[in-house]
Amino acid sequence: MKIELPQLTLQQKWETAESNLDYFIVCGISYTKSHGQTAEDFGTWAGQVAGPFWDEEKSKDPRGLVEGISINKQQFQGFQMEILDESEISISARMKSFGDNLIRKYFKNRVSVD
């Protein structure tokens, strides 16, 4: 019997990518907590790891960072960003991202991410 590999639709690819990312975030938080640290510690560490990739945006005004976040997050369904206030040195924004519902659905009672 010959195996036929599945061909995903774009929608299925997005859903799979989001689920995989949620999984790795939950794993990272769970691992960190199993070593006596917090979800915030994991977020700080992840930010430090990602820092060098943002060097180019750091050299720009705050728009570079906000634009970069928007570009990265647009790959996820339901992403929304609203600029609330901006000046030469700061930008206040609100965003709705991905993952909250998936994390609650798939990892409920299995691991604490709070």
DSSP letter assigned to residue 50: H
The per-residue pLDDT for 66 is 87
The per-residue pLDDT for 114 is 53
Q: In the block, which residue shows the tokens 């019997």?
A: 1
Structural contact between residues 49 and 28, judged by C-beta atoms closer than 8 angstroms: no
**Of residues 9 and 101, which shows the higher confidence score?**
9
Structural contact between residues 22 and 105, judged by C-beta atoms closer than 8 angstroms: no
- Domain ranges in the chain are 61-106
Distance between CA atoms of 53 and 82, rounded to whole angstroms?
24
**Of residues 89 and 85, which shows the higher confidence score?**
85
DSSP letter assigned to residue 81: E
- Tokens coding 29: 């938080």
Residue 14's pLDDT band (boundaries 50, 70, 90)?
confident
